[in-house]
Amino acid sequence: MNIEFDSYKQKLNDCRPTLDGLAASLNLEGMKNELERLHAMQEAPGFWDDPEKSQKIVVKTRQTENKIERYEKMCASWDDLMTICEMAAEEDDDSMLDELKEGFNALAAEMESCRLETLLTGKYDKNNAMMSFQAGAGGTEAQDWCQMLYRMYTRWAERHGFTYKILDYQEGDEAGLKSASIMVEGENAYGFLKGESGVHRLVRVSPFDANARRQTSFSAVEVVPDIEDDSNDVEIRPEDYEMQVFRSSGAGGQHINKTSSAVRLIHKATGIVVSCQTERSQFQNKETCLRMLRSKLVEIREREHLATIADIKGVQQKIEWGSQIRNYVFMPYTLVKDTRTGCETSNVNAVMDGALDPFIESYLNCLATGNWVQK
């Protein structure tokens, strides 16, 4: 038998315990029982009497079916690859080697992706994610960097089949953007993106400097889970915030409606400010702002292990040197390095085009093991 086939057979045998272990991590039997329960609910009389509730059950059913099918496909792939190894040994046929290599690499990648999803055990990891971008001090340079980050994350979302909706978009004075907020929609969006919260530092030769000097810029990214409006996690009363109505500013283009319906809410106790200007009416913008504010308050409470929302004091993030979670160096060398996990790459162009998976994966692994570069 070709030694390479023998090697792949050994690799398949070695990964089988991991594949079996995924069934336990995924709670496969529990999912199958849950699927039976969901199917029974859909078959019950009056299921569609409450369209909102029934739609949520339909979505959950589809998600559960997809998870079970995904695991079963991995098992089927393992069986097929082992069959190829055995057939090649019997027939002394090397022609199936390329198919074996490609199949094994695909299986290994799918198993790793599935393993990472089993790490998403946080209370809100399965939720949509609200992302906010804020340029640091530095005028046009920082605002351009903020827009680069905005593009990087929206490209990542598109690559992974997530959709995103613009909630707020404040263009820069000359270029870039001052701030923006988007909703990234899809299962596990928050779980994958939660580690991206923090200050991001850029080092490059400024395209806005006639003397081509090297510049350092900072922008902040905030990620919070989208909390359902009917959630009992927090109550926000009208007296808890100040509401401001304003006309959308800047050129805006496709991003905003040029009306006086834009809404800004300022939470009095914490100083948190949220705004929305992309919905059709002032009422809709206010509802979106309340949803954003609720999500931010819940995330802070969970992160700081507070008993109640009232325990949250002032919220202030410094967008400056020493507070960054990741450095992006374009000059004099190319390097992107995460200060928490140590994950790094020299392919800065790929990262800016949305290739963030190594950084997201290393964060989730460190979160699971506690093996941080710095704490």
Q: Using the structure block, give the residue that is written with the tokens 């450095």.
A: 327
Structure tokens at 375: 């704490």
pLDDT at residue 177 in the model? 94
pLDDT at residue 250, as a whole number: 47
**Four-residue CA torsion sign, 160, 162, 165, 168:** negative
pLDDT value, residue 40: 95
What is the β-pairing status of strands 324-329 and 198-205? Answer: parallel
354: left (phi over 0), alpha (psi -120 to 50) or beta: left
More confident residue, 243 or 279: 243
pLDDT value of position 208: 81
pLDDT at 320: 66
Return d(Cα 28, Cα 107) in angstroms, integer: 18
Query: How many angstroms separate the Cα of 149 from the Cα of each of 154, 271, 335?
Result: 9, 25, 16
H/E stretch holding 347 reads none
**Closest C-alpha to 188, from 244, 256, 122:** 122
pLDDT tens-place string over residues 300-328 = 888 777 766 666 565 556 676 678 999 99
Give the range among 322-326, 362-366, 371-375 with minimum mean pLDDT: 371-375
Q: How many residues does the chain have?
A: 375
Residue pLDDT, tens place only, 232-272: 667 889 999 999 998 765 444 555 555 568 899 999 988 99
Strand partners, 170: 179
For residue 372, which phi and psi values (nearest 5 degrees)? Answer: -90, 155
β-pairing, 198-205 with 177-185?
A: unpaired
Q: Which of 363, 44, 93, 260 is nearest to 85 (CA)?
A: 93
Query: Which of the given ranges, 122-126, 290-294, 342-346, has the highest pLDDT on average?
Result: 342-346
Q: What is the mean pLDDT of residues 32-47?
A: 94
Read off the pLDDT of residues 80-109 as tens digits, 9 standing for 90 and up: 999 998 888 788 778 888 899 999 999 999
In what helix (H) or strand (E) does residue 1 lie, and over which residues does it extend?
none
Predicted confidence (pLDDT) at residue 202 exceeds the cutoff of 80? yes
